Amino acid sequence: MIPASRSRAFARAILSSHGSRHLSSTSSTPITSVLIANRGEIALRVGRTASELGVRCTTIYTDPDAHSQHALSSPFAVNLGAANAYLDGERIISVAKEQGCEALHPGYGFLSENSAFAKRCVEEGLVFIGPPWKAIEAMGNKSRSKDIMIKAGVPCIPGYHGTNQEPEYLLEEARKIGFPVMVKAVKGGGGKGMRIAFNEQEFLDKLESAKSEGRNSFGDDVMLVEKYIGTPRHIEVQIFADKYGNAVALGERDCSLQRRHQKILEEAPAPNLAEDIRQDLWEKARAAALAVGYEGAGTVEFIFDNDTNEFFFMEMNTRLQVEHPVTEAITGEDLVSWQFKVAAGEPLPLDQETIAQRISERGWAIEARIYAENPSQNFMPDSGKLIHLRTPQISQSVRIDAGFIEGDTVSSNYDGMIAKLIVSGPTREVAIGKLHAALQDYKVVGLSTNIEFLKKICKSPAFIRGEVETGYIQKHNGELFAPESVEPETFAQAALGLLAKELSGSGVPASQGPHGQSIGFAPSSQRQFTFLTSTGSDAELVQVSINQSGRNLFDVIVNGQGLDMTYTNVICEPLAPSISTFFPHTRIESTIIADGDKITLFQRGKQTQLTLATPSWYEKALGLKDVANSILAPMPCKVLRNEVKEGDAVEKDQALVVIESMKMETVIRSPQKGVIARLVHKEGDICKAGTVLVLFEEVSR
């Protein structure tokens, strides 16, 4: 691995000619009030820095966000109403003026890269805390931005960026470029409106899917077609510029760990990157900023070819990035503070040489995005109430930027990011170790998250070696999604935890419900609990029998799924919601959270999810339906289109329905071969999680 400090002298030599700052005729007017035109963690993040600068903050929120943390963070908060109102630029500008705000900070996403909105802010006398609208316009159109970059000497990937959008014409251009190709919305971002076509046969379907997502996400379905690089890395450079002609690069970030073309882990500096290439990236990023008269924070994104060590301009994000905290960690600077200062007319706080020196001395930083999603189901988005939330201890090297606390609801109306966990260390190896340790202390119950998956990334040998690429997850799929067995002590702890809750009087006695069954005449002498490790057709039952022989003293038997273990004289001490158990061979401390029949355990840095098995007699008593012949909505969603018709014969894995949730399209595929009996919902219908979408004809037995 090449250390960041290897070529400090080289870095200074490269950058010193560009590090001088133009300070003549500077004038600035401090900003005293701002409207934060965003939500969630970035609204809170901007608000913290604004408050430190003495700037009065006004926040906005929608009906689904009425009780959100950002809505509660300021006494000056205005309800915009409908869920999509964060995109109502005119209404937001009107609120800013009504509240007497001098400036508007767009955060990221929503209107942050909308040049028309930035222009309207200026026309209405508001300071837009971002780049000039003309720069946003120039870089927001991917076709035009590539033309600008080529003229500025920044290398661009081969592709078609023209105006002819006929599908057959785009297919012909794809043939000229050579498959595989990437089809991408020219106004896209955040991984939306992008598809990879590996051959001619699938090109038109991928094109239509990308166009549909572009229309839904950006109101525009104009596409470009580019050569798809087989083993790429996503490396981006954080730049900052002021109105005096100063432009600096604040280092690069590697954002190659992605799913659905969206980042889940970012780090700075980029690992295994030769120093001359690093400095060339910085220089090209600065050239990109200067080419469009840029001001403020921006990120120049490059595709780096692992096979050839070549890099190509991909796009420029004319805003603060989600992953800006890793740059703050390696520079020691508050980038939001820089945004306010540049918007107020101040020159950049540091020159390039000072920044390069800082980066060479401050080690490594990694950010992991904590998402509400299910990695084992192709990272299917999830939503719901955070019924239990515990976070790692904050320190100088562990930071959390979050928009939610325990009790909050992650809505299906918006992106499912719960928080960002940022760690730093003197070396990459130390930073990875800190990230893994912090993830072990991150406990979320109420919805699916990617925390366990992120832990596996931290232990993946190729990641530890820095052998990253955007296809990393697919390449190492077998390792990252390898099935894990559940230890017998885990089942024992689940049963002991439920029993402890019952005996403490804080829950429904097991003898009165369907899951825990009393045996014999003494209600506290013996219990049986039956667990499922999954709810699919391959689910297996594990039975735990507990015999209480004294105060906090138990004998425990675990049977099923190849397990046959007996533990005698087990001492279990309740510490609600945790228990501390002394088995004959070890001590285990577990936190057990019950949500209906869903049981979540946290022990020894690992999360395990179990389901209490419902006895067949109880299902019949309640009249529970057999849903074996149906497909259910996995989350609250909108039906975009049905891909089949009633009466169609379908194969396993065939596309049935396309839904949208959290601004992402998801294809629901058939779990079996069969015949479609009924399509329950039509295009445009809004469905709750668990709603039946498709019914199959019953197979006679």
Residue 60 phi, psi (nearest 5)? -125, 155
**Contact present, 491 and 558 (Cβ < 8 Å):** yes
**56 CB contacts (<8 Å, ≥6 apart)?**
32, 33, 34, 50, 76
Alpha-carbon distances, residue 333 vs 54, 349, 358, 666 (angstroms): 18, 9, 10, 39
| 608 CB neighbour count, 10 Å cutoff | 20
> Shortest CA distance to 365 belongs to which of 432, 302, 450?
432
C-alpha triplet 507, 512, 515: angle, nearest 5°:
80
Exposed / middle / buried, residue 9 (Cβ in 10 Å: 0-12, 13-18, 19+): exposed
Q: What are the catalytic residues?
A: 319
> Shortest CA distance to 529 belongs to which of 584, 442, 594?
594
- Looking from the CA of 17 toward its CB, the CA atoms found within 13 Å total 4
Residue by residue, DSSP assigns 365-381 as: EEEEEEESEEGGGTTEE
Query: 406-420 burial string, b = 16+ CB within 10 Å, else e?
Result: eebbbbbbbbbbbbb
Cα–Cα dist 57/276, whole Å: 43
Cα–Cα dist 429/431, whole Å: 5
**Contact present, 300 and 289 (Cβ < 8 Å):** yes
**394 CB contacts (<8 Å, ≥6 apart)?**
400
Which tokens go with 168? Answer: 């057959």
Instruction: Give the gyration radius of the chain's Cα atoms.
Output: 27
Beta strand 606-612 pairing with 417-425: unpaired
Cα–Cα dist 659/440, whole Å: 33
**Contact present, 300 and 284 (Cβ < 8 Å):** yes
